[in-house]
């Protein structure tokens, strides 16, 4: 959020990965060629359309055809998971998410000082987060999950409830099969994260409804219906040892080298069974 595919920080991360894994191919996912337009797309747009656009983009990259490792920074983590569940062609080997909002947020993320684009998007979302226009056009509103208005959230939000299989009825078998096809799902939580509310969303945690408790309490991943009922394959990954819950010390996206480098070194650039080396696909938001 507030970044672009070719920002100095992103280019630095790419170079670090190339140094760790000589010869690796790295593609930085983008929603627009122009830097400013790509940054704005992190605030304004329809997530379902954006995920479809990314799927088309990845399908046309020859180097990725045998599979790749995907890294999602912040909100890009749940967007990449949506790609895995809905498309996964080319397939993702390891999915690594840093500080992502897998169970949504109960507050719209705050903005950096002087980020007018972010401030406009945040104001629009907070004004009427579950209105038809906001749900179709403001990115952060499309993963806003109010624990005290869950029926309205399920009715109006057409992104997060879908990829989390929160609606009544039989879950999408394709979504579950695709997620279970991952070799590893690595979920990184920042210990002092105040932008992701609650921070446990990075591990599929969410706030309980207020009427269930006098204070805000977090429902952990293993007590979530999507896990207990195995609606998207999360429990399958966990039970077979392929779900990794990792912590990084510090605030949201404070990527100290001692935190992120061992993760990237371990879970990126391995060799698949077909002897083709996977590539890293990166996106920072």
Q: Where in the sequence numbering do the catalytic residues fall?
A: 74, 193, 252
**Residue 173 to residues 169, 182, 219, Cα–Cα distance (Å):** 12, 15, 25
16: tokens are 């670090």
Tell me the angle at which helices 47-59 and 76-86 cross, rounded to the nearest 10 degrees: 70
Q: Say if residues 182 and 188 touch (Cβ distance below 8 Å).
A: no
Please give the radius of gyration of the chain, using alpha carbons only, rounded to the nearest integer.
18
| Length of the chain in terms of residues written | 285
Burial of 256 (0-12, 13-18, 19+ CB in 10 A): exposed
Categorise residue 257: left if φ over 0, alpha if ψ from -120 to 50, beta otherwise.
alpha
Q: Say if residues 8 and 263 touch (Cβ distance below 8 Å).
A: no
């Amino acid at each position: 959020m507030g970044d672009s595919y070719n920002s100095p920080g992103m280019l630095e991360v790419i170079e670090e990965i190339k140094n760790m894994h000589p010869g690796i191919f790295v593609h930085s996912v983008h929603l627009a060629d122009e830097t400013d337009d790509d940054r704005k797309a992190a605030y304004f747009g329809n997530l379902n359309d954006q995920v479809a656009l990314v799927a088309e983009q990845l399908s046309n990259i020859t180097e990725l055809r045998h599979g790749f490792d995907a890294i999602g920074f912040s909100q890009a983590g749940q967007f990449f998971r949506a790609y895995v569940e809905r498309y996964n062609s080319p397939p993702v080997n390891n999915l690594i998410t840093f500080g992502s909002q897998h169970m949504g947020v109960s507050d719209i993320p705050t903005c950096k000082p002087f980020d007018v684009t972010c401030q406009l998007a945040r104001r629009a979302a907070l004004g009427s987060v579950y209105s038809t226009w906001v749900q179709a056009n403001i990115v952060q509103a499309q993963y806003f999950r109010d624990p005290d208005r869950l029926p309205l959230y399920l009715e109006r939000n057409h992104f997060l409830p879908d990829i989390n299989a929160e609606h009544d009825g039989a879950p999408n078998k394709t979504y579950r099969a695709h997620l279970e096809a991952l070799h590893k799902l690595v979920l990184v939580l920042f210990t002092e994260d105040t932008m992701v509310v609650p921070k446990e969303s990075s591990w599929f945690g969410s706030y309980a409804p207020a009427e269930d408790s006098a204070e805000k309490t977090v429902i952990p991943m293993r007590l979530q219906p999507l896990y207990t009922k195995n609606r998207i394959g999360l429990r399958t990954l966990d039970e077979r040892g392929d779900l990794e819950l990792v912590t990084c010390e510090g605030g949201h996206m404070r990527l100290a080298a001692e935190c992120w480098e061992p993760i990237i070194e371990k879970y990126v650039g391995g060799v698949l069974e077909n002897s083709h080396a996977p590539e890293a696909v990166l996106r920072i938001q």
